């Protein structure tokens, strides 16, 4: 197969996720559950499985195959992943959102670092739009790149029963996003900053930096910190957002359609673990956890990102991060001064109390999350291979052995695996507790 050099050029040629037979699925289920069961539990499991296969399974299997063949369905996992990510009702902040801590960039202060990362992200966005990001491959086979369509201008929207995902490349929002702005959070304030001029010319690093300095100058006093509401459990946040919409529809529209967020923080992390804590949760009033990407830059230029998970998996974001960190700061052409404007909130006393309570509860929740760093010196992937074990399998065995020694039993664990070699593939779970283990 000759691969297309265009970003999304190979998607329709990728194989669909195969549907195994019922017998195959049943056999693998017994194999995977065996190490976790006593003899009595295994016997009861085999009996229950036989009854399921005889009564309920055939109709369910037929319905699944009918769904897989439905026009517009890309994968048998389509609805599953939507309900899995968008259906969770607890808070996504800290529980679901992920973070990256970037390598340091010596010599750049906070604004310079933020401007460089913003410019690199804009350049990447324009490359995605033009389908100039090289398609990822694995052993010569193309991988799905569809998640790149949900990297920019994407926002999760809370719902009372299930959330929704507002993204471009959809029927409601065809094609690449034509939005030209990011939103900048600092000290509880929100500003719109244009990073692309009306004629489509991207602003230069210097122009973006000037806009960021204007934001810093305007935000000495604490703002409303409305972003704290995005830390609430999803149904509660949906109610708060509904009340916000009455007087703040324009502000919410600007935030939800922005290419991405930039959060400027006064804090200076003392060491990497503290930086990781701040990237994972930090000051909630300076975040909008529903946005797909938030670049976070601390007072000394230390930087990272917080990402929302519903449409994005790690491998896609790693590709973006590797590009913006691994390439020289792009020399964007510039288009004059970048427009910057504060976003105003109209709030009543009840809403301010709601914001304050959400912030206090999330601060307590974050404080109850303990983190520590373990560094294993001297052991490399090469050494694992010398021992006749793949580095990945060695790490999984280490996790399981540590769990058994500390808890006294084998845990039901899985390993996240990429399935991007399939059409619209993203991530699945591989059961790693086997009889051999």
CB under 8 Å, gap of 24 or more: what pairs does 21-29 form?
Answer: 22/53, 22/57, 22/58, 22/61, 26/53
> Domain with 111 in it: what CATH number?
3.30.559.70
Question: Which of 317, 345, 367 represents a domain boundary (last residue)?
Answer: 367
98 near 307, Cβ under 8 Å?
yes
252 near 285, Cβ under 8 Å?
no
**Are 123 and 42 in a shared domain?**
no
**Are 86 and 69 in a shared domain?**
no
DSSP state of 175: S
Tell me whether residue 376 is in a domain. no
pTM of the model: 0.94
**Are 289 and 335 in a shared domain?**
yes
Tell me whether residue 312 is in a domain. yes
For 26, 244, 247, the CA distances from 354, given in Å and listed in that order, are 49, 11, 16
**Are 122 and 208 in a shared domain?**
yes
For 352-404, how does the pLDDT look when each residue is reduced to its tens digit (9 = 90+)? 999 999 999 999 999 999 888 888 889 999 999 999 999 988 999 998 999 99
Number of domains present in the structure of the chain: 3
For 191-222, how does the pLDDT look when each residue is reduced to its tens digit (9 = 90+)? 999 999 999 999 999 999 999 999 999 999 99
Range of the domain at 62: 18-74
Question: Which of 74, 92, 119 represents a domain boundary (last residue)?
Answer: 74
205 near 199, Cβ under 8 Å?
no
Beta carbons within 8 Å of 48's beta carbon, 6+ residues apart = none
**Are 324 and 340 in a shared domain?**
yes
**Are 231 and 362 in a shared domain?**
yes
C-alpha span between 133 and 153 (Å, rounded): 18
C-alpha span between 51 and 257 (Å, rounded): 50
**Are 310 and 275 in a shared domain?**
yes
Tell me whether residue 10 is in a domain. no
Tell me whether residue 353 is in a domain. yes
The alpha-helical segments, DSSP class H, found in 69-194 are: 78-86, 110-129
**Are 332 and 303 in a shared domain?**
yes
**Are 112 and 159 in a shared domain?**
yes
- Copy the structure tokens of residue 356: 């304050």
**Are 321 and 407 in a shared domain?**
no
**Are 177 and 263 in a shared domain?**
yes
Provide the pLDDT for residue 1. 64
Q: For residue 100, which phi and psi values (nearest 5 degrees)?
A: -130, 140
Tell me whether residue 2 is in a domain. no
Tell me which residue of 296, 313, 364 sits closest to 136, measured CA to CA.
Answer: 313
Percent of the chain topping pLDDT 90: 83
């Amino acid at each position: 197969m000759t691969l297309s050099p265009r970003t999304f050029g190979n998607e329709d040629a990728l194989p669909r996720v195969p549907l195994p037979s019922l017998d195959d699925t049943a056999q693998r289920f017994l194999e995977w559950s065996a190490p976790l069961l006593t003899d009595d539990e295994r016997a009861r499991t085999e009996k229950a499985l036989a009854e399921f296969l005889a009564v309920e399974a055939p109709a369910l299997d037929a319905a699944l195959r009918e769904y897989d063949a439905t026009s517009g369905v890309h994968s048998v996992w389509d609805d599953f992943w939507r309900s899995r990510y968008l259906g969770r009702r607890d808070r996504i902040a800290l529980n679901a959102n992920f973070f990256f801590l970037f390598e340091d960039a010596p010599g750049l202060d906070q604004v310079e670092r933020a401007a460089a990362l913003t410019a690199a992200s804009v350049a990447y966005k324009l490359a995605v739009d033009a389908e100039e990001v090289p398609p990822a491959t694995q052993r010569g086979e193309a991988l799905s790149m569809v998640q790149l369509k949900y990297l920019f201008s994407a926002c999760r929207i809370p719902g009372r029963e299930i959330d929704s995902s507002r993204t471009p490349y959809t029927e409601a929002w065809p094609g690449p996003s034509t939005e030209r702005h990011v939103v900048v959070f600092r000290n509880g304030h929100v500003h719109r900053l244009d990073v692309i001029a009306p004629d489509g010319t991207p602003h230069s690093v210097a122009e973006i930096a000037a806009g960021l300095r204007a934001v810093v100058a305007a935000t000495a006093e604490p703002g409303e910190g409305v972003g704290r509401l995005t830390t609430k459990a999803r149904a509660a946040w949906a109610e708060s957002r509904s009340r916000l919409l009455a007087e703040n529809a324009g502000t919410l529209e600007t935030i939800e359609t922005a290419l991405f967020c930039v959060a400027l923080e006064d804090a200076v992390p003392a060491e990497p673990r503290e930086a990781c804590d701040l990237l994972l949760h930090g000051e909630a009033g300076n975040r909008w956890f529903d946005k797909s990407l938030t670049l976070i830059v601390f007072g000394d230029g230390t930087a990272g990102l917080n990402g929302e998970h519903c449409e994005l998996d790690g491998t896609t974001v790693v590709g973006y991060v590797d590009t913006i960190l691994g390439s020289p700061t792009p020399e964007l052409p510039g288009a004059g001064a970048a427009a910057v404007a504060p976003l105003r909130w109209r709030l009543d006393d009840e809403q301010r109390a709601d914001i304050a309570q959400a912030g206090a509860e999330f601060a307590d929740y974050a404080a109850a999350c303990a983190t520590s760093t373990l560094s294993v010196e001297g052991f490399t992937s090469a050494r694992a291979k010398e021992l006749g074990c793949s580095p990945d399998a060695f790490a999984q065995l280490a996790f399981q052995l540590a769990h058994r020694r500390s808890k006294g039993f084998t845990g039901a664990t899985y390993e996240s695996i990429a399935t991007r070699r399939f059409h619209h593939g993203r991530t699945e779970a591989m059961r790693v507790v086997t009889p051999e283990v």
